[in-house]
């Protein structure tokens, strides 16, 4: 029981979960392993109506990472309620529904409904998607709107609300504090960095959407610094993400201040990424002077008299 | 449950300009039975490159527990793959996707196989399986130039084989569609794999039913990330190239 | 003469120059090759008085990149005027002096003096250093201050003024336009992204300064998208930088909208990085339908009827 | 003009727990003549890892055009280095920095060499050169544990050699300073290389003049990036470990 983590709404067997958009609604990965092994599952963004997303190409590779411009394609609230969430009930794992909307009302509509599904234990407001024209990132760069959105969703949502922050801001602490004031139960950070690649033969952007969201190892140092900074300024827990490929990366985000860790891009590289990280993490914990993984959260800045490792 | 496997390189050689043929050995071969499926390869530990690379299964030898790929060196991924020597490992996720369907063929059908460039490889296992099931095949293979041509001999053993090169330096001059037109090639159905413009031309010119194998930039390769979608022609929905395809019935999706 | 580039104050033999802070004042690299080969040299940040910089460790590696927290260590204006700039006169190469200050007056003081040195053809205002407490990045995140700073320096400076922008902002276009209005002759972008790494044994940040600036390949997609976006919104030229390791990377920044390209971290990896990129770039140009490299600037978004490459 | 060179691995072997000895061959060896200098290695093409790695020159064989390094596998850089087989190349920038000065020694001086862990290697070439110049050496080598000990025999051939292990599993129990104290070792001067705490202890305990070799995280390795500075003891200035050091006179910089 060294690995379990208790967060608002979420009783996690372990702190590892797939990140939104990198795991669909679980079906594909259920063909590789038992999803009940996971701490939680954060599903793809859900919008009120079905969304077609952006034209292809939607991904491009970059040094140590990748760009995506999926554009929040999803089957829409109704289909998710009817097909995806009930299907996931066969697993003993809490579900976090990532929500995207063009207006505050759309976020509220989805939250109101999905939060009634029995296995949905929390929602995550995606106010940071760089790949859609409306909503998305706009909500994540203005602290007033972010706070307002959080508060309004809190009013209608039956489960705790996590807000997913964008790294593409001058001052992430202000946004984080704003959503905390708005009543957020937790934060998820970070979403992708805005980036772009050009095709040297045509001179044009590789992505049909021109710009995309940068994820993968390349962004880990940005995630670490943002989690480190924000976790010292808020008192709600943080689900950390950004460039986690192995147990060491997960530990780095936890030491920086995350209470749980989501794995995104690495699922594409290795479909077994999450269960592998869970196993390795449990093994690695033996090197640390702790009875429980929760004691490592924020240890980079939390004063402590004990040395961290036994080595 | 699906698996990934660190398979062992048993051979690696150049067979045309920048084109490599590589065979891998391992247990996953036992489940590689649909021609047209592909594997998703991690060619290196670590982050350079980060993503897997999709490569078609070109032929399968169940007895030897090996399968063969034919690929063109394009960028960093295929380059690193080409440096793998016999004995080294490549991490394989697959077989993935849906291949060329053969169940609905009437017995002793005649099939036209149309391949362009690195679209040729998946047709080879298809040709082998079709002929071994008693069907006959005619292959039309298009390449840019003489030095790009590969697998002509292999296909010839299985049926009449025409080669077209864009610059006319080998075989017929022009595109595969030119050859099909000039030689009035036809059959009960066709199977095609190659660049988009070729697939488009084939789809709109061929009066017989057929199947097209598409390429798209991929993330996961298993249907989870939605990187590789294509639109359906007649409904509002979409299909994923990696898991619903890569092979689609002609007319099903927008090429 | 396909490679020469003419920018305000700068007649460059070719568009490649070392980036500030990654080349000292040239002495060390002069032991590897003739610095006259370079398009220009952008020297380390100069402040009015000698600066000791941050405690060590000052660098840490990250996937596909590195963090630095040098903290603008430099010998100070007087010593630069007396020792460094005169020494560089032996080379036939324009010098750009990167300027750092804690106050607007400090920037002005340095600009006023260095711009009189005969080989200094431009100054670059570093309003984006993430590694110092005062000045630096503060000037780069507020468009009003950035504009004011630019205008005041323009008043006293005898050579054209380039302003180096920080990528750590919500809206880089607003800053870019502000400094353009302030009278900037050009922009340099991007400086480093804020990042951090933890030591998993101690749990503490690896850098003594805790956070540092992320540079190298990892940040190239961020640089491409910022240059692409800003170059369409301003009419002053851009010196592009961020993750350039070879001629292809340089081309990508140029196609995105840069008129010249600075090479930073790669100098540490390969001391011959700049001359190698210059040679390769000239060779690569043969594949492009252009008489002159300048025609490639911004070709990712500039309409053109001709195909870009001959292949 | 200074150069970089893709040097060829001629040997690679494990000599202690996680400790490798690797020899490289090439032209740069002709300019490696100051013991205590280091090389800055790019162990892979591409970005993983991005930066070079500083490793001391442990011994030089001018006739064979080879030099030898001894290194501990720590992280990704040294790990990739340890995988390089004979015949493969490693990109070498160097020799860099200033080594252990020997010019001011009176003839037939006696020198105490104090090394800790991976600080031991640069002392070996120093010991060879000192003895060949007619000086005598005593070596005190400190390691964590028995399985970490290396080069005891090599040093023994050149002069009296004492080994200390922290856990007492081999040689004397304790730190090098304990051995020096217990055996009352001294000389005309000392040369030391090892972890900071060891260097600090030596510097403050040894009554004789000496030289210390420092380590610091590096960027460029040639003095341009200012990553590796250390403060001077008696003036306002600073020194760069890569280009002013890595060897400093005891008392010159803050250890
Ligand atoms: C289902 C499928 C089957 C394929 N079968 C073969 C085959 O049998 N033989 C063969 O030579 N090639 C095949 N390809 C194309 C092959 O995947 C690309 O050539 C390869 O990914 C290029 O990788 P790279 O690192 O060498 O090039 P880079 O240009 O460095 O690759 C950069 C990124 O773009 C992607 N990419 C580049 N070109 C393509 C492409 N044409 N299709 C999809 N993604 C691409 C890469 O996967 C990678 O993510 C297939 C593609 C698909 C989708
Ligand atoms: C002048 C000098 C001489 C050295 N000589 C030797 C030697 O002869 N044998 C030997 O085993 N080691 C030596 N070291 C230490 C060696 O450089 C590091 O162990 C090595 O860089 C670790 O790289 P890594 O990728 O394996 O580890 P990682 O931890 O992955 O390295 C990450 C980053 O930290 C840097 N780093 C980590 N540890 C050190 C360190 N102790 N000193 C400097 N940078 C470090 C790396 O260079 C790299 O940039 C020397 C260091 C210096 C400065
Ligand atoms: C293909 C793809 C799709 C994504 N879709 C979503 C999404 O729908 N909602 C969301 O909040 N984040 C989405 N993200 C962001 C990830 O959840 C995660 O924040 C980011 O990728 C950083 O983590 P990583 O570096 O581990 O991938 C997506 C990322 C990728 C790569
Ligand atoms: C060690 C180091 C020191 C730097 N010092 C400065 C500086 O003094 N002034 C400045 O404007 N930028 C400085 N930079 C930023 C670079 O000039 C450049 O903008 C950045 O590194 C991105 O380019 P790169 O990815 O090619 O390194 C420094 C970067 C590094 C790595
Ligand atoms: S590649 Fe991920 S859905 Fe097809
Ligand atoms: S490592 Fe760059 S100055 Fe020493």
Residue in C with minimal Cα distance to A229? C211
Q: Which residue, judged by its Cα, is nearest atom 4 of ligand 1? A: B55
Q: Which residue, judged by its Cα, is nearest atom 41 of ligand 2? A: D215
Say whether B47 and D46 touch across the interface (CB within 8 A).
Answer: no
Which residues in chain D touch residue B46, judged by CB atoms under 8 angstroms apart? 48
Nearest by CB: C63 against A217, A225, A311? A217
Say whether A268 and B225 touch across the interface (CB within 8 A).
Answer: yes
pLDDT(B235) > 90: no
What value, to the nearest 5°, has the Cα angle with vertex A210 and ends D46 and C226? 70
Which residues in chain D touch residue B48, judged by CB atoms under 8 angstroms apart? 46-48
pLDDT tens digits, one per residue of D217-252: 999 999 999 999 999 998 778 999 999 999 999 999
pLDDT(A1) > 80: no
How far apart are the CA of D109 and the nearest CA of chain A, in angstroms? 41
Q: Which residues of A are catalytic?
A: 129
User: Which three-class secondary structure string do you get for A33-77?
Assistant: CCHHHCCCEEEEEECCCCECCCCCCCEEEECCEEEECCCCCECCH
Chain C residues with a Cβ under 8 Å from any Cβ in chain B: 63-64
CA of D52 to the centre of ligand 6 (A): 11
Which residues in chain D touch residue A63, judged by CB atoms under 8 angstroms apart? 47
Q: Which of the four pLDDT bands, split at 50, 70 and 90, describes residue D193?
A: very high
> Which whole-number Å values give the CA distances from B128 to B36, B97, B134, B151, in the listed order?
12, 19, 10, 13
Size of interface C-D (CB pairs under 8 A): 101
Residue in A with minimal Cα distance to C193? A222
What value, to the nearest 5°, has the Cα angle with vertex C158 and ends C155 and C162? 80
CA of C263 to the centre of ligand 4 (A): 9
What are the helix and strand counts (H, E) for chain C? 11, 14
How many other CB atoms sit within 10 Å of the CB of residue A157? 26
How far apart are the CA of B47 and the nearest CA of chain D, in angstroms? 7
DSSP C207: B
CA of C223 to the centre of ligand 4 (A): 13
CA of B53 to the centre of ligand 1 (A): 6
Nearest by CB: A198 against C141, C205, C255? C255
What value, to the nearest 5°, has the Cα angle with vertex C251 and ends C250 and C257? 95
Q: D6, D45, D225, D235: which to substitute to probe chain C, counting the most C Cβ within 10 Å?
A: D225
Q: For ligand 6, which residues put their CB under 6 angstroms from it?
A: D 218-221, 223-228, 240, 242
**Arithmetic mean of pLDDT, A102-127:** 96
Which residues in chain D touch residue C46, judged by CB atoms under 8 angstroms apart? none
What are the structure tokens assigned to D126, written together?
A: 């120093």
Say whether D47 and B46 touch across the interface (CB within 8 A).
Answer: no
pLDDT of residue D236: 76
**Arithmetic mean of pLDDT, B128-151:** 97
Q: Which residue, judged by its Cα, is nearest atom 43 of ligand 1? A: B217
CA of C189 to the centre of ligand 4 (A): 10
Residue in B with minimal Cα distance to C218? B47
Q: Are strands D110-116 and D189-193 parallel, antiparallel or unpaired?
A: parallel
**Arithmetic mean of pLDDT, B165-170:** 96
Confidence check on the interface: ipTM exceeds 0.90, yes or no: yes
pLDDT of residue C304: 87
pLDDT(A137) > 70: no
Residues of chain C with pLDDT under 70: 1, 130-138, 311
Whole-angstrom distance, CA of residue A45 vs CA of residue B135: 47
Candidate from B53, B90, B96, B125 with most ligand 1 atoms within 8 A of CB, to mutate:
B53
Say whether A271 and B220 touch across the interface (CB within 8 A).
Answer: yes
Chain C residues with a Cβ under 8 Å from any Cβ in chain D: 21-24, 27-29, 31-33, 44, 52-53, 56-61, 63-66, 68, 70, 73, 206, 216-218, 245, 265, 267-272
Q: Which residues of C are catalytic?
A: 129
Interface check for D74 against chain A (CB to CB < 8 A): the answer is: no
Q: Which of the four pLDDT bands, split at 50, 70 and 90, describes residue A273?
A: very high
Say whether D219 and C29 touch across the interface (CB within 8 A).
Answer: no
pLDDT tens digits, one per residue of A215-267: 999 999 999 999 999 999 999 999 999 999 999 999 999 999 999 999 999 99
Q: Which of the four pLDDT bands, split at 50, 70 and 90, describes residue B237?
A: confident
pLDDT of residue A139: 85
CB-side exposure of C80: number of CA atoms within 13 Å?
31
pLDDT of residue A136: 56
Say whether B4 and A270 touch across the interface (CB within 8 A).
Answer: yes
DSSP B176: H
Question: For residues B23, B26, B27 and B32, what is the CA-based torsion angle, rounded to 10 degrees?
Answer: -10
* D122: enclosing H helix or E strand: helix D121-132
Residue spans of beta strands (DSSP E) within chain C = 5-7, 10-12, 16-18, 41-46, 59-62, 65-68, 95-99, 120-126, 161-164, 186-189, 193-196, 211-215, 238-241, 260-263
Say whether C201 and A309 touch across the interface (CB within 8 A).
Answer: yes
Say whether A198 and C67 touch across the interface (CB within 8 A).
Answer: no
Residue A215 DSSP SS3? strand
pLDDT(B163) > 80: yes
CA of D52 to the centre of ligand 2 (A): 9
**Arithmetic mean of pLDDT, D108-137:** 97
pLDDT tens digits, one per residue of D208-218: 999 999 999 99
CA of A202 to the centre of ligand 6 (A): 39
Please name which ligand lies nearest the alpha carbon of D221: 6
Nearest by CB: A53 against B3, B52, B226? B226
**Arithmetic mean of pLDDT, B219-234:** 95
pLDDT(A311) > 70: no
**Arithmetic mean of pLDDT, B204-227:** 96
Residue in D with minimal Cα distance to B44? D48
Cβ-contact B89, B43 below 8 angstroms: no
Residue in A with minimal Cα distance to B242? A28
pLDDT of residue B234: 82
């Amino acid at each position: 029981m060294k690995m379990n983590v208790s967060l608002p709404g979420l009783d996690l067997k372990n702190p590892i979960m797939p990140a939104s958009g990198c795991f669909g609604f679980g079906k594909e990965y259920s063909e590789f392993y038992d999803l009940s092994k996971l701490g939680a599952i954060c599903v793809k963004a859900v919008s009120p109506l079905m969304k077609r997303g952006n034209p292809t190409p939607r991904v491009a590779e970059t040094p140590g990472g990748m760009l995506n411009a999926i554009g929040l394609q999803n089957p829409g609230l109704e289909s998710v309620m009817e097909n995806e969430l009930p299907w996931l009930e066969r697993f003993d794992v809490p579900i976090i529904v990532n929500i995207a909307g063009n207006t505050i009302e759309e976020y509220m509509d989805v939250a109101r409904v999905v939060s009634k599904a029995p296995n949905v234990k929390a929602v995550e407001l995606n106010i940071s998607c760089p790949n859609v024209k409306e909503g998305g990132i706009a909500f994540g760069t203005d602290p007033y709107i972010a706070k307002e959105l959080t508060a309004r969703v809190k009013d209608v949502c039956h489960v705790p609300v996590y807000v997913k922050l964008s790294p593409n801001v001058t001052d992430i602490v202000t946004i984080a504090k704003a959503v905390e004031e708005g009543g957020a139960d937790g934060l998820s950070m970070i979403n992708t960095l805005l980036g772009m690649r050009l095709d040297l033969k045509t001179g044009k952007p590789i992505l049909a959407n021109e710009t995309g969201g940068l994820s993968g190892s390349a962004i880990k140092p940005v995630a670490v610094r943002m989690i480190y900074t924000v976790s010292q300024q808020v008192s709600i827990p943080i689900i950390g993400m950004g460039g986690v490929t192995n147990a060491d990366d997960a530990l780095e985000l936890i030491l920086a201040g995350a209470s749980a860790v989501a794995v995104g891009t690495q699922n594409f590289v290795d479909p077994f990424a999450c269960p592998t990280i869970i196993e390795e993490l449990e093994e690695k914990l033996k090197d640390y002077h702790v009875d429980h993984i929760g004691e490592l959260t924020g240890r980079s800045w939390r004063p402590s008299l004990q040395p961290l490792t036994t080595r | 449950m699906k698996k990934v496997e660190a398979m062992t390189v048993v051979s690696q050689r150049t067979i045309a300009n920048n084109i490599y043929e590589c065979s891998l050995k391992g247990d996953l071969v036992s489940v590689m039975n649909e021609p047209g499926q592909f594997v998703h390869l991690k060619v290196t530990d670590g982050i350079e490159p980060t993503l897997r690379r999709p490569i078609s299964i070109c032929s399968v030898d169940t007895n030897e527990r090996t399968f063969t790929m034919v690929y063109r060196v394009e960028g960093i991924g295929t380059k690193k793959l080409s440096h793998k020597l016999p004995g080294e490992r490549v991490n394989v996720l697959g077989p993935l996707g849906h291949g060329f369907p053969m169940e609905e063929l009437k017995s002793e059908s005649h099939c036209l196989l149309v391949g362009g460039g690195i679209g040729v490889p998946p047709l080879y296992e298809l040709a082998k399986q079709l002929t071994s099931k008693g069907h006959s095949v005619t292959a039309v293979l298009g390449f840019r130039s003489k030095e790009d041509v590969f697998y002509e001999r292999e296909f010839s053993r299985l049926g009449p084989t025409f080669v077209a090169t864009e610059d006319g330096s080998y075989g017929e001059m022009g595109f595969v569609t030119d050859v099909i037109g000039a030689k009035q090639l036809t059959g009960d159905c066709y199977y095609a794999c190659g660049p988009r413009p070729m697939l488009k031309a084939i789809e709109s010119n061929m009066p017989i039913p057929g199947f097209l194998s598409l390429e798209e930039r991929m993330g996961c390769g298993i249907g989870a990330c939605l990187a590789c979608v294509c639109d359906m022609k007649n409904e509002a929905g979409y299909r994923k190239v990696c898991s619903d395809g890569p092979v689609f019935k002609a007319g099903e999706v927008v090429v």
